[in-house]
Amino acid sequence: MNSDLKRPKGWKELPAGAVLPAGTAVEYHTGSWRTFKPVWIEKKCIHCLQCWIICPDFSVLVKDQKFDRFDYDHCKGCGLCAYICPVKGKAIVMEKEVKE
């Protein structure tokens, strides 16, 4: 173990990390964290909205009680929506993110 590293005695000695404004994270485009992105296959979708229920980032957008699109600004690419999709062959597939 490196003896130069000083172990903090408590949380007050920890250096400040990221500071988020209270109440909202909308301005933080966490979609840039993705390595995989969900892609919707419209012709297979039965609009059961299980993907909307399970998405932890509210990134499945619904219009007129049907799947509309993903909010790629905030989707972190966890893949839960693809996992839960009940359609045979899946109406959501995860694809490698291509950074521009």
* Residue 73 contacts ligand SF4 per CB under 6 A: no
Among 15, 22, 28, 51, binds ligand SF4 (CB under 6 A): 51
CA 60 vs. chain centroid, Å, equals: 10
Is 46 a binding residue for ligand SF4 by CB under 6 A? The answer is yes
- Distance from C-alpha of 31 to C-alpha of 18, rounded to nearest angstrom: 17
Q: Which of 28, 68, 73, 79 binds ligand SF4 (CB under 6 A)?
A: 79
Closest CA to 73 of 19, 23, 21, 25: 25
- Decide: is 93 part of the binding site for ligand SF4 (CB under 6 A): no
Size of the site for ligand SF4 (CB under 6 A): 27
Residue 76 binding ligand SF4, by CB under 6 A: yes
Q: Is residue 47 near ligand SF4 by the rule CB under 6 A?
A: yes
Binding footprint of ligand SF4 on the chain (CB under 6 A):
38, 40, 45-51, 55, 57, 59-60, 67, 70, 75-81, 84-85, 87, 91-92
